[in-house]
Structures are given as C-alpha cells and as structure tokens.
A and B are shown apart, each in its own frame.
Chain A
Amino acid sequence: MTKYYDIDDIITEEEIVSVIFQKAASGVGIDPSSENDYIETGSKVELPFWLAHELQLRQVVSINIPSCFDQKTRLEIQADCASVDLRSRCPFFYEFGCKIAPVVGDRTIGFLLLSAFKNRYKELLTKAHTAAFSAATKIWSILTNEEINLYEAAQSSMASFKKWRIGGPRFQKAPVLGRKRNQLNNYSLNLSGVFDKKELLGFYEYLISPLSLRGVTSINSAYYFNYS
C-alpha cells in the first residue's frame, strides 16, 4: 500500500487488458457491443487493469495476456533489444509486466523483462552519460518511463559534476517558478571564468563522443551571445 499516492502506479494500472467474463454482470455500461447494460458470460471486453485485477481475484473474469508481451515483441527483443520501441507498446513496460505476471500465470514474463532490461541498460548507461542535449530526442522516444527516470538521473549527475568542476553559483532560481529565460540559466556557467574544455574533457577522454564535444562548445558561445 506504499504506492497508494504514487502517480506512476496509478497510470500503470490504467493500461487496458482484454478479459473474458466468466460470470454475467448487469447494470454496467462497460461493454459497448451489448445493447442493454447486461454483460453476458463469455463475452470479451477491454477493461483497465485495476478493474480486471480486482475482478479476477473474485473470479468474475479471466485475463488474457496483453499484446505488449506477445510473440512478436519477444522475437524483437531477442533480436535487438536496444532499438525496440517499448514506449509505443506500453510506456510502463516493466512495471506493468511485474503486475501482470502473477495474474496471467505466464512464468516467462519475468525472464523476458529481465533480459530486456539488462540489454537496454547497457546502451542507456553509455548514452545518458555522454550524449549532448540535442541527441537526447532520438533515444528518448523508445525508452519506457522507468528508463527515462534513470536517464534523467544520469544527466543530472553529469550536470552537477560539471558544475562542481567549473564552480558555478550555489543558488539558483527555484525550478518551480518555471523557465522565463533560456535554458542556459540552469547550468549557470561562470561569467568571468574561462571554460577550460581540455581540463574537463581530459577526465572523460575515453567516454566522450564527438557529439558532446559539439554540444559543449555550442553552450559556451551561445552564453556569450545571449548575455545582455
């Protein structure tokens, strides 16, 4: 019950699964194919997961495996994990899989999730730590929400490291007030200090890709252009 107020948990449970009603239900307008409010036994309905789960506990419905865990996805994950577009299948792929696994009775979902996550995490880790800000959108579209959290954590830790290295100001405008100015204020580059690229990059020489080099220089020049 620790997740009662958790927003991600609520959105995860809203995913739609298809169920088959084992018993009839009357007085509900959930099944659009029937004329009146009566749902017959054996009718196939699409329900959100929170409803389907509770009804299955009371043995009113039986849940089928949702389409995001079907054979096609499994083959794609086996082939090349890192480029599979999990976001379009289900934005909360891993969470949803964890919830579905005990309910549907399919023992292979756990292994599928684990292998998918292990392979994607390798890619995610390198890209999150080295990618420039402009390159983020390409990988962003195929990540699930849990992976995006990890990605953002890595980016923020990189930003804090750079800030510590350069020695930016400790106080900044509170993020809840929104960004009235351009994005650069959040990174607070030192006005009079020299941004010594080589000194910083020496530490990351084995990780830095050409893209991030370009990103770093663009920040440097744009800051001076935008300074009023």
Chain B
Amino acid sequence: MRESRSTEFLAVDFEFPTKSPATTEIQRSRFLHSSLRFLLLIFFFRIFLFKFSIAAIDSLHQGQAVPICHPVLIGYFYAHNLLGQFSLSLKLFAKGCFFRNCKMYGRKACQLVKELASGEKGQLTPFNSDLFEQVVAECSQHHLELQSLIRKMQEEGLDVQTTRNAEHHGALIHHLSLVRNKRCLMAYVYNRAEAIQSLLWKIGHVLPQEIEEKLCHAEAEYFKKHSAALKSYMSKVQLDLTVDMVPPKDPYIQVRVLDDIGDGIVLSDDKTANFARHSMHFLKRTDAEQFISRGLMEELTG
C-alpha cells in the first residue's frame, strides 16, 4: 500500500517544454504548472526522505552518533519503508539530532560504558583506548571551561561561593559533566578488572592469546600481579584453591583431547603424556581441569 502511494508521486509526468517558455502566454503558464508540479514532486520526495531518515534514527536510537545525512543510510531505509510512528519518530529525531550533535556532556563516556554492556555475558571486549583517551580529553576541556567561568565571576567581583548567577550555573553544568565522565571511566575500568579477576579462577594462571589481545597493558600487569599474589597465598596455605569446589566421586577422569596440545607434557604425578588430537586418556581430575576449562579437552561421561 505504501509502495503504490510513493509511486503515485513518482509517476507524475513531467513534460519538458518544447519551446522557450516566454513565447506564448499558454506555454508560459504550462511551464509554470509543470515546474510547480516538479517542485511539488521534489517537496514530497524530500518529505519521504525525511520520514525514512527518521525511521533510521528511530531504529538506531541507541545513543550513537548517526550520520543522518548519509545518502546510503537514507537509501537503505527508503527501501525498507519502516514508517509507522511518524510523530514518535519525529520526537526521537528531534531529541536525537539536537542532543547528539553536541559532542560533550557525557555522550562519549556513555558510549564507552555501553560497549561494556553490549558484549555477551561474561565476554570481554577489547580495550577501547581511543575512546578512553577522548573521554579523558573531554574532562580536561570541561575543567578549562569551568575555570574560565569561575575567573569571569571573580573578575566581576562576585563572591564565588554564594552567588547564583548564570556563570555559576554554567560552571555547575561543566562540573556535573566532569563528575559523570569520571563515573563512567571508573565503572569501565572496575568492571573490566572484575572480569579479569574471575579469569584467574576460571582459566588459570596462563592467559590464552585471544584474551591477551583484548586487554590493555595495565590490565595485563594487573592480571600478572593478581596471579602472583594468589600463588604466594596458596603456597603459604599449602592448598590449591583453584580446583573445583565440589568433591568428585572419582579422582580420575576420562577425557578426549580436542585440540593439539603436543606431547611431553608433565603431569602432577611426574608422568609425561602425549596429547594428540582425538586421543583418549585417563587422567587425574586436577590435571584435566585446566585443559577442559580452556576448551582443549572434553570430558567423557558414561
């Protein structure tokens, strides 16, 4: 139904004037009429483009900066025709367009935090150092503006602590944005640190390559120091705390090797084993646990 409506407008016949428009009165009026129709066509076409770009904003209303004038985006959503809620989309468009165009005031910091939330549960996303640096730069910018506003108030001779004029409110907004940026950065680092701590308990003291890539330098250091601390504690207590909490029924377990680990691996009872792919072994549970949690072996039950 919508498609036919749009073609209705697009199928307007546009006749090019055969002679120059100033020859006769009739031809002049015909030219005006056709040009008016052309303008009307353009006008409605632009409205449709506008509507479809609203739909683009509507469906992308996730707090990202959307390049709304991108012709590819508009063309894409034109084809899909998501018009349903014109007024709601208009509101969202207004909200999105105006506030998102101003880059500061916590938008980037929120983006950073949303990245954390967007990964699958329990998965680490790579450390976004560019965005991190940008947010830190934003903080210093806010601080500079704050200082300039306070200086302005001091130049006017007002008491900085008690006056509540326009500059004070501006400085307040900058201060609040600064505190918000700080909160987002802290939450980002804190949640990643928690994830890294749990890594130690699940995977062990050696990190696989794919996870090392996702950590930044400071986080890798954090992991090393944390694992060293845990090792020293376990040696003092003389207990291996990273094994499974539930006591097993059988100290030995049957496993099948999924990936090539190599041969000559020394196990806890000083025997060397050859772990070729698809081979089955009868190992102690404590040895096999670390390989299973890394996905290199699979437990065979029954």
Residue of B nearest to A54 (CB): B176
Is B190 within 8 A of A193, CB to CB?
no
Chain B interface residue number, banded = 35 or more
Give Cα A24 to B190, complex, Å. 37
Give Cα A60 to B292, complex, Å. 59
Give Cα A193 to B186, complex, Å. 49
Contact with B along A20-55 (1 / 0, CB 8 A): 000111111110110001100000001110110011
Is A10 within 8 A of B298, CB to CB?
no
Give Cα A28 to B293, complex, Å. 52
Asked if B266 CB lies within 8 Å of chain A CBs, one says no
Give Cα A171 to B298, complex, Å. 8
Asked if A75 CB lies within 8 Å of chain B CBs, one says no
Contact with A along B142-180 (1 / 0, CB 8 A): 000100110010000000000011110111111011001
Is B170 within 8 A of A27, CB to CB?
yes
Is A58 within 8 A of B172, CB to CB?
yes
> Which of A93-101, A125-133, A173-181, A203-211 lies at the interface with chain B?
A173-181
Give Cα A24 to B63, complex, Å. 27
Given A16-B99, A25-B166, A190-B301, CB of A176 within 8 Å of CB of B176: no
Residue of A nearest to B168 (CB): A25
Contacts of A180 in B (CB 8 A): 295
Is A169 within 8 A of B299, CB to CB?
yes
Given A50-B176, A55-B172, A177-B208, CB of A27 within 8 Å of CB of B167: yes
Is A60 within 8 A of B101, CB to CB?
no
The residue from B99, B300, B302 contacting A167, defined by CB atoms under 8 A apart: B302
Give Cα A171 to B208, complex, Å. 18
Give Cα A50 to B177, complex, Å. 9
Q: For chain A residues 1-28, which have a beta carbon within 8 Å of chain B?
A: 4-8, 10-11, 14, 16, 23-28
Is B170 within 8 A of A28, CB to CB?
yes
Contact with A along B274-302 (1 / 0, CB 8 A): 00000000000000110011110011111
Is B173 within 8 A of A50, CB to CB?
no
Is B95 within 8 A of A46, CB to CB?
yes
The residue from A11, A32, A55, A172 contacting B110, defined by CB atoms under 8 A apart: A11
Asked if A168 CB lies within 8 Å of chain B CBs, one says yes
Contacts of A8 in B (CB 8 A): 117
Asked if A165 CB lies within 8 Å of chain B CBs, one says no
The residue from B88, B170, B302 contacting A190, defined by CB atoms under 8 A apart: B302
Give Cα A11 to B170, complex, Å. 24
Cβ distance B232 to chain A, nearest Cβ, rounded Å: 24
Is A5 within 8 A of B293, CB to CB?
no
Determine the main DSSP class of B at the interface with A.
helix
Give Cα A97 to B268, complex, Å. 57
Asked if B65 CB lies within 8 Å of chain A CBs, one says no
The residue from B113, B124, B170, B187 contacting A4, defined by CB atoms under 8 A apart: B187
Contact with A along B85-123 (1 / 0, CB 8 A): 000100100110011011011100010011011000111
Contacts of A25 in B (CB 8 A): 166, 169-170, 172-173
Asked if A78 CB lies within 8 Å of chain B CBs, one says no
Asked if A67 CB lies within 8 Å of chain B CBs, one says yes
Residue of B nearest to A91 (CB): B62
Contacts of B106 in A (CB 8 A): 14, 48, 50-51
Cβ distance B157 to chain A, nearest Cβ, rounded Å: 17
Contacts of B186 in A (CB 8 A): 4-5
Give Cα A32 to B104, complex, Å. 12
Asked if B10 CB lies within 8 Å of chain A CBs, one says no
Is A14 within 8 A of B203, CB to CB?
no
Contacts of B152 in A (CB 8 A): 27
Is B176 within 8 A of A51, CB to CB?
yes
Residue of B nearest to A38 (CB): B166
Asked if B191 CB lies within 8 Å of chain A CBs, one says yes
Contacts of B221 in A (CB 8 A): none
Is A5 within 8 A of B123, CB to CB?
no
Is B203 within 8 A of A177, CB to CB?
yes
Is A175 within 8 A of B169, CB to CB?
no
Give Cα A193 to B300, complex, Å. 11
Cβ distance B6 to chain A, nearest Cβ, rounded Å: 24
Cβ distance A204 to chain B, nearest Cβ, rounded Å: 24
Can you list 8 A-B contacts (CB < 8 A)?
Answer: A4-B183, A5-B190, A27-B171, A51-B106, A170-B244, A172-B293, A177-B295, A191-B300
Q: What are the 6 closest A-B residue pairs judged by CB atoms, nearest first?
A: A27-B170, A173-B295, A169-B299, A25-B169, A26-B166, A24-B166
Q: Given A27-B174, A190-B301, list of 11 further CB < 8 A pairs? A: A11-B114, A27-B145, A27-B167, A27-B170, A32-B102, A46-B98, A51-B177, A88-B61, A174-B295, A176-B202, A193-B301
